[in-house]
Amino acid sequence: MHCPFCRHPDSRVVDSRTSDDGLSIRRRRQCPQCGGRFSTIETASLNVIKRSGVIEPFSREKVMSGVRKACQGRPVTEGDLAMLAQSVEESIRQTGSSQIDTNDIGLAILGPLRHLDEVAYLRFASVYQAFDSLDDFDAAIAQLRADHAAAVATADAD
Ligand SMILES: [Zn+2]
């Protein structure tokens, strides 16, 4: 890539470092012409198609702010939200697609959120899945109860 200082068309990589989450690589580069140093960050592209048709880069921050609303008053920390957003991103990247829609993100959030806090999960699911009656809540809660019962039965079997 072009040197940002002198526009020289080439640069040399002097150092590469993978980020802690393994999702990006930071490279230190040096321009062979002016000696200027700069950094680039390389990530696999991941774009989100919004309901309006607008395409924007995937953002963990947006996942966190969506989930944060559902977690108001619940014992969920910012660290929990960050972990959730990371696992959402990882699970989406594992599908190998470079373009997803907001629906896929909602789906990817439901699993880990349910694990984190069931009340927040119900709130989020009610918005995301557009619950429009108490029956929808009843069905979701019945499903949670059934899964709890199944988990207990599995534990008993061990
Ligand atoms: Zn240069």
pLDDT at 87 over 90: yes
pLDDT value for 66: 92
> How close is the Cα of 12 to the center of ligand 1, in Å?
11
| CA nearest neighbour of 70 among 23, 34, 136, 118 | 118
* DSSP conformational letter for 91: H
pLDDT value for 158: 61
Find the DSSP H helices in the chain.
Answer: 60-70, 78-94, 102-116, 118-128, 134-157
> How close is the Cα of 7 to the center of ligand 1, in Å?
6
> How close is the Cα of 111 to the center of ligand 1, in Å?
48
Tokens of 136: 């929808």
Average of per-residue pLDDT across 87-99 = 91
> How close is the Cα of 2 to the center of ligand 1, in Å?
8
> How close is the Cα of 18 to the center of ligand 1, in Å?
25
> How close is the Cα of 15 to the center of ligand 1, in Å?
17
